[in-house]
């Protein structure tokens, strides 16, 4: 928690240091619930954000870097920060050996920062607070979610520092459903457009396992050099970890280095090739896995309308200690993301296949995961949101006794409604189903069992202030 203490102190100090009259309040465009991370509602005829009237700047994310493509970001006239508050309450069905329904309330403060200059861009989204629960097995706790990026541009060079952190009372997979707890910051058009990290660079879980809180972090440095207007070289270094506060889950570290080449074929189409090396370490276990991947990549960007990112190629892994009779594994890596915005709605979908750290339950796994989100306004005030995620984690043969070729299937699906109370407040309600099956015990809150099924209803209110101009 020292990380967040320094972060909050620094943030409060910087806001207090603003000269009088500089931190001015300005009237924002209406915040609509159709916004999803990295998605801007378009007007394809003029390349504007249809919900706010702001011009949309093209996405600058490299194809062979660590980030997902976005549809672009609002071309802001001012730098600003926006604070907010959120209250979310969940009613959770009994799971495994538990017999009672559990109520948990989250009291959360949020903040989003957008700061731009001629040579730099800062984007920051943070949500954090406390959780009060009636559960006797978990107890009260805290919640933190952070996504930030700082980018510098010098001539042909573009350098980005990225960080994603979460501290949650349970698995991040499907946490919060389609409520505001599933992301950081205030959301909507005023939230900072911080591009998400690709699945390969994120150590977060895709299994419902372990008891109690857990935290994960991914820190990334990404450098891009433009050889000419069409071609660029990219180098990325990343360090991530996943930790569990209690239980017998496996803590993991990963260090990643990648180098890529992008080429602009047309105004909207890119191709590239990237080499990625990943080193997995498992605390308390002597095993270590080194992964070497070469991917061919394709991307397409239509500002405010479409973003496609696809990659595939061979994957060679080596093991410090032989797994069964194997000291290496030859397979493939593949995946991609698609974001598409209609005139009044938006959809996001992703797929990934490759090696992962095992999500705290396995000493490495082969993971296939699919995710999708869709959002659309029903009336002027009502908006429908849906989300679904599925992950198959297959144990590396011989890595864990009794789990040869075991497939752990995890699924969550969520749907809900948002009602705009005003330009700055909204009421939300959603239902989330979480399911997992396995041949070994799964021990989330509520006890252990060979499968996991949970029903949860979320009800909440989100509010944010009007933005305060920094410059």
Half-sphere exposure of 292 toward its Cβ, with a 13 Å CA cutoff?
Answer: 7
* Phi, then psi, of 412 in degrees rounded to 5: -135, 145
More reliable by pLDDT, 275 or 398: 275
Task: Tell whether the model's pLDDT for residue 41 goes beyond 60.
Answer: no
Q: How confident is the model at residue 78 (pLDDT cuts 50, 70, 90)?
A: confident
Cα–Cα distances in angstroms (integers) from residue 393 to residues 30, 199, 239, 282, 407, in the given order: 41, 14, 22, 17, 6
Taking the C-alpha atoms of residue 82 and residue 109, their distance in angstroms, rounded to an integer, is 11
Residue ranges of domains in the chain: 2-469
pLDDT digits (tens, 9 = 90+) for 292-313: 999 999 999 999 899 999 999 9
Phi then psi for 304, rounded to 5 degrees? 80, -5
> Would you state the structure tokens that stand for residue 67, as one six-digit string?
């980030």
Instruction: Give pLDDT, residue 96.
Output: 60
Task: Please give the pLDDT value at position 57.
Answer: 82
Tokens describing residue 403: 């789990």
pLDDT grade for 167, boundaries at 50, 70 and 90? very high
Contact between 194 and 61 under an 8 Å Cβ cutoff? The reply is no
pLDDT reported for residue 75: 74
* Across 52-57, average pLDDT: 63
For residues 3 and 283, the model is more confident at 283
Q: What does pTM read for this prediction? A: 0.83
Q: What pLDDT was estimated at residue 450?
A: 64
pLDDT at 25 over 70: no
Burial degree of 75 (CB within 10 A; 0-12, 13-18, 19+): middle
Say what the pLDDT of residue 465 is.
94
Taking only the tens place, the pLDDT of each residue in 231-281 is: 999 999 999 999 988 767 889 999 999 999 999 999 999 999 999 999 999
Q: Which fold has domain 2-469?
A: Porin (2.40.160)
C-alpha span between 113 and 265 (Å, rounded): 34
Residue of higher predicted confidence among 108 and 408: 108
39: Cα separation from own chain's centroid: 13
Region 456-462: mean pLDDT is 96
Q: Is residue 52 over pLDDT 50?
A: no
Q: For residue 16, what pLDDT band results from cuts at 50, 70 and 90?
A: very low
> What is the reported pLDDT for 14?
39
For residues 68-90, average pLDDT:
89
Instruction: List Cβ neighbours of 10 (8 Å cut-off, separation of 6 or more).
Output: none
Tokens of 439: 């041949």
Q: How much is the pLDDT for 138?
A: 74
Q: Are 42 and 344 a contacting pair, CB within 8 Å?
A: no
How many percent of the chain have pLDDT more than 90? 57
Measured in residues, the chain has a length of 471
Q: How confident is the model at residue 444 (pLDDT cuts 50, 70, 90)?
A: low
More confident residue, 214 or 402: 214
Total Cβ atoms within 10 A of residue 240: 22
Where does the pLDDT of residue 128 fall: very low under 50, low under 70, confident under 90, or very high at 90 and above? Answer: very high
> Which residue would you say has higher pLDDT here, 39 or 416?
416
Non-local (6+) Cβ contacts of 13 within 8 A are: none
Average pLDDT of the segment spanning 40-44: 37
Residues 103-108 have a mean pLDDT of 94
Half-sphere exposure of 203 (CA within 13 A, CB side): 34
pLDDT of 448 higher than 70? no
Residue 195 in this model has a pLDDT that exceeds 60: yes
pLDDT tens, residue by residue, 309-326? 999 999 999 999 888 788
- Give the residue carrying structure tokens 């060079």: 157
Cβ partners under 8 Å of residue 131, min gap 6:
104, 105, 106, 107, 140, 141, 142, 143, 169
Q: Who has greater pLDDT, 30 or 151?
A: 151
d(CA 383, CA 425): 14
Least confident stretch, 89-103, 356-370, 441-455 = 441-455
**In this predicted structure, what is the pLDDT of residue 8?**
41
Predicted confidence at residue 264, as pLDDT, reads: 96
Asked which of 131-140, 344-353, 385-394 is least confident by mean pLDDT, the reply is 131-140
Task: Output the pLDDT for position 139.
Answer: 78
What's the CA gap between 206 and 172, in Å, rounded? Answer: 7
Mean pLDDT along residues 429-450: 71
- Confidence bin at 113 (pLDDT 50/70/90): very high
Neighbours of 283 (CB within 10 A): 12
- Considering only 50-59, 71-80, 121-130, 363-372, which range has the smallest mean pLDDT? 50-59
191 pLDDT above the threshold of 50: yes
| Out of 29-43, 287-301, 350-364, least confident range | 29-43
Per-residue pLDDT averaged across 180-186, rounded?
Answer: 91
Mean pLDDT of the chain: 83
186 vs 6, 76, 260, 370, 422, CA distance in Å? Answer: 21, 17, 34, 26, 15
């Amino acid at each position: 928690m020292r990380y967040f203490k320094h972060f909050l102190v620094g943030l409060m100090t910087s806001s207090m240091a603003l000269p009088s009259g500089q931190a001015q309040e300005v009237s924002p465009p209406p915040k609509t619930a159709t916004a999803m991370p990295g998605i801007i509602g378009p007007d394809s005829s003029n390349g504007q954000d249809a919900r706010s009237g702001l011009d949309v700047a093209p996405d600058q994310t490299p194809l062979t870097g660590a980030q997902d493509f976005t549809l672009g970001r609002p071309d802001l006239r001012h730098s600003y920060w926006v604070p907010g508050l959120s209250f979310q309450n969940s009613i959770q069905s009994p799971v495994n050996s538990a017999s009672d329904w559990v109520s948990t309330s989250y009291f959360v403060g949020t903040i989003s920062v957008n700061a731009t200059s001629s040579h730099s861009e800062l984007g920051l989204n943070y949500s954090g607070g406390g959780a009060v629960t009636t559960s006797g097995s978990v107890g009260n706790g805290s919640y933190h979610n952070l996504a930030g990026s700082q980018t510098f541009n010098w001539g042909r060079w573009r350098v980005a520092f990225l960080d994603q952190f979460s501290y949650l009372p349970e698995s991040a997979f499907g946490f919060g459903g389609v409520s505001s707890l599933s992301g950081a910051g205030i959301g909507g058009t005023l939230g900072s457009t911080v591009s998400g990290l690709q699945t390969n660079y994120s150590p977060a879980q895709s299994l419902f396992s372990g008891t109690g809180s857990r935290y994960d972090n991914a820190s990334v440095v990404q450098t891009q050099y433009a050889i000419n207007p069409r071609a660029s070289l990219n180098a990325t270094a990343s360090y991530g970890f996943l930790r569990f506060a209690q239980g017998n889950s496996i803590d993991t570290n990963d260090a990643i280095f990648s180098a890529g080449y992008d080429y602009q074929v047309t105004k909207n189409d890119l191709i590239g090739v990237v080499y990625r090396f990943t080193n997995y370490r498992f605390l308390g276990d002597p095993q270590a896995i080194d992964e070497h991947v070469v991917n061919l990549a394709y991307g397409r960007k239509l500002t405010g309308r479409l973003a496609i990112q696809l990659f595939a190629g061979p994957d060679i892994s080596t093991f410090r200690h032989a797994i069964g009779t194997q000291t290496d594994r030859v397979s493939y890596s593949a995946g991609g993301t698609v974001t598409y915005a209609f005139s009044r709605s938006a959809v996001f979908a992703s797929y990934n296949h490759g090696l992962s750290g095992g999500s705290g339950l396995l000493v490495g796994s082969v993971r296939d995961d699919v995710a999708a989100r869709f959002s659309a306004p029903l009336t002027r005030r009502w908006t429908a949101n849906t989300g679904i995620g599925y992950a198959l984690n297959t144990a590396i043969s011989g890595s864990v006794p009794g789990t040869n070729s075991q497939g752990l299937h995890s699924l969550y699906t969520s749907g809900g409604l948002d009602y705009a109370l005003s330009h700055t407040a909204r009421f939300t309600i959603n239902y989330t189903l979480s399911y997992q099956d396995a041949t070994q015990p799964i021990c989330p809150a509520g006890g252990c069992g060979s499968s996991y099924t949970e029903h949860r209803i979320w009800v909440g209110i989100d509010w944010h202030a009007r933005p305060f101009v920094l410059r």
